[in-house]
Structure 1
Amino acid sequence: MLLFRMGPRYLFFRTENIDETSNFLEVKLGGETIDFMEGFEKASENSTLCFITDTHHDKTRVEDAKKIVLINDVASVILSSIINNNACDTLNRIDMGPSFIVMRAAGNEDELVDKLKEIFSGEEVKLIEGIGIGEKDDTIIAFTNKAITGSVASSDFLNKMILIHKPSAEVREKLRLEGLRLITQSLNDNHWFELRINIYDSEGKYQENYERLMYIMSKLEVGMILGESWTKDYAVLLYSVMTYQVRLFTFTTPQEV
């Protein structure tokens, strides 16, 4: 189960050649001209949203974009392609927006957000506002209580996001060390549920059933497997059967699982 992952990067292109720039990004880099919210929902952690604006801005924002192009590649690849294809002459300036982190929330979500604000001295922002205010060495953390392996719909994000004036490497390092503890502290009664799932099979196809269970768990992201072992289950008095037991730790209630 992922507790957090990176989101898309943001590049702001200032140019007098709006159509030429967007055409280059589409043809050479496989980009797609798109609305912001649609692009945000389709973007993965390896994607980049490119905002193409005119040159009459001291600082470019999402609202200034004449065109928005979604490219399913990282910002460094895009920038190197521009240089290698001699496309720099069509551009006046390129700015990089803040990094974006998607974090899983559970339990008392407001408590988790407030704690991270305190730790990182962050400020609450809306999505478009945060991208506009943030600089290349800043980081936005967005929160959701849904699985984050794939794309996350905009409606599944919490209303609160945090803009942190620190680079993403520093923020990610802190989250790796403290993220699990902070999520645990935000849970009801500060504890996870421990579920013991027994796999029975009269034909002995334990491996097949185990793989099915792991596939479902990985897709649903309902918790972490912290133990596995063979054990005996006494379904009938004085009669035992072998079963393979998986210990699942989850912040989802047994009824929901």
Structure 2
Amino acid sequence: MRLLRLGPGIFFAKGKLILKKGISMEPEKAFEEAQELDTIIIHDDGAILIKEHPWKVLSELINSNQNITIKPSAPLILMRSPNPRKMLELIKDRVEGRILDPKSAILNSTPDETVILTTKSPLNRPVPFTAIEGGIIVEKEFQDVYRFLILEAPMLISEIEPHWNEITIKLYDSTNHYKENIERLIITIEDLDIGFIVSEGWDWDYPRPLLRVPVYRLKLLTWESPERIKFLLKGLEYSNYKRLCDIDVIVEGRKIGWFEVGKFKSKFEIAKAARKELEELLSDTTLARLREIEEKLAKTI
């Protein structure tokens, strides 16, 4: 689970700009599609998103001898929090700064400052500009601010959300395709970025007296509710009404029942709704891998 990362490098260009790479679009759209350390060049006609790191792009612009003026924005740091606005207030108390809306923070900053943007969204993918809930301009060099956040981010998060849920997830597979189902579980949790995996291993479960079955056990530390985790993982249990595995979600020794996650008439109805949401949330790469594994599993059941 990532708590902070760098944003794209943003440059403001004046003059006739000639570029043989990148995609032209509106500035907000460029930010929405940019990943960590991509490059955005904003000019009179809009913005250009270049999927390369800023140092490479800037050196190419300098060596091209174009009659343009380039001004960099302040370095951007994106920070994830269950309460983004409270996070801004905490940062302001610790390092001082000016809290502004995200766009104003970027436009009114200088290269000698640092802009921190806060969001609830996962940071392992592009973050839409609409998901940024606030920004703060810190009048300190980037290296100092980044070093502070690297060290203090866990403490800041704990101050905002002192109670984290320690969830035990147990996976049982009656067809003994544990390798494939464990991979499905892990890549889903990691891609959704819903918590810290603090331990994993094997255990025994006793569904009935004198019946002992092997289970894969994973412990997850998360600020998401157990019911939310149960719902999402329900989307991995079935494929076209074929059961691929059983996944239990346990908190403080109590197993969360399927009827606790919402008003659904059956497990199949939950699984269908959960799968639909997973397909909306997961990255294309992870979703493709899930489908590849599930196609192989379906042939063995």
Please indicate the TM-score interval, normalised by the length of the shorter structure.
0.7 to 0.9
Q: CA deviation at 1:45?
A: 1.5
Aligned to 1:163: 137
Aligned to 2:148: 174
Aligned to 2:228: 256
Alignment partners' CA distance in 2, 1:66 and 1:47: 20
Aligned to 1:218: 190
1:141 to 95, 101, 116: 116
How many pairs were matched up?
Answer: 229
Contact 1:109 1:186 in 2 (8 A): no
Contact 1:142 1:161 in 2 (8 A): yes
CA deviation map 1:28-57 (0-9, x unaligned)? xx12222111111111212222123xxxxx
User: What is the CA RMSD across the aligned residues, in angstroms?
Assistant: 1.6
Contact 2:27 2:42 in 1 (8 A): no
* Structure 2 length-normalised TM: 0.72
Q: CA deviation at 1:66?
A: 4.2
SS state of the match for residue 204, structure 2? strand
2:88 to 113, 119, 141: 113
1:44 to 35, 38, 43: 35
Question: Counterpart amino acid of 2:11?
Answer: L
Aligned to 1:83: 62
CA deviation map 1:146-167 (0-9, x unaligned)? 2121111222221x21111123
Alignment partners' CA distance in 1, 2:76 and 2:148: 15
Q: CA deviation at 1:192?
A: 0.9
Q: CA deviation at 1:186?
A: 0.7
1:123 to 98, 105, 116: 98
* Structure 1 length-normalised TM: 0.83
Alignment partners' CA distance in 2, 1:33 and 1:170: 34
SS state of the match for residue 226, structure 2? coil
SS state of the match for residue 141, structure 1? strand
Q: 1:164 to 1:238 in 2, by over 3 A?
A: same
Q: Which runs of 5+ in 2 are unaligned?
A: 230-301
SS state of the match for residue 207, structure 1? helix
Question: Counterpart amino acid of 1:86?
Answer: N
SS state of the match for residue 222, structure 1? coil
Q: CA deviation at 1:185?
A: 1.6
SS state of the match for residue 10, structure 2? strand
Q: CA deviation at 1:168?
A: 2.5
Contact 1:99 1:167 in 2 (8 A): no
SS state of the match for residue 255, structure 1? helix
Percent identity, aligned pairs only, is: 29
Aligned to 1:68: 47
CA deviation map 1:96-136 (0-9, x unaligned)? 11111111111x44332211111121210122221222111
Q: Give the structure, 1 or 2, with the largest relative contact order (CA under 8 Å, sep 6 or more).
A: 1
Alignment partners' CA distance in 2, 1:233 and 1:67: 59
Aligned to 1:55: none
